[in-house]
Amino acid sequence: MSEEHPNATAYRRAADAFRVGDIGAIESLVDASVVWHVPGRHRRAGDIRGRDALLAWLKGLAPLGFWLREHDVFANDLHVCALSYMGARREGLEIETRVVSIFHFRDGRQLERWFFPENADAWDKIFDASW
């Protein structure tokens, strides 16, 4: 079995840091000019531009009961593909969908992320709560 690409490992470190609320670790793994493209019709959809905006956006997920777990992650020198389950658990809601995320990486840091949820309605419900 071959060793995992360093960009895949960097993504896993960021995902693990998110799960435990270690925003400082995430900060060190994303570029200052990072852009996340968040699809949907919910209030949190749109382009998140810059590390500070992204960290604030991520902090706002905790009250939503947001969670993620990876199915598979693979990478090359420029890109990471993460196949994940993402969902939310909060009063009156327990929902999930499969999501493909494509990242652009440079020097081991995230530059850009695109999300492709399998179920757009479930995706919107995950982020539907006020923030």
List the chain pLDDT tens, one digit each, 131 residues: 569 999 999 999 999 999 999 999 999 999 999 999 999 999 999 999 999 999 999 999 988 999 999 999 999 999 999 999 999 999 989 999 999 999 999 999 999 999 999 999 999 999 986 54
- Domain that includes residue 11, residue range: 6-126
Looking up residue 16, the CATH number of its domain turns out to be 3.10.450.50
Q: How far apart are CA 77 and CA 124, in angstroms?
A: 32
Q: What is the pTM of this model?
A: 0.92
- The size of the chain, in residues, is 131
- Residue 85 inside a domain? The answer is yes
- Residue 36 inside a domain? The answer is yes
Q: How far apart are CA 62 and CA 127, in angstroms?
A: 11
- Residue 131 inside a domain? The answer is no
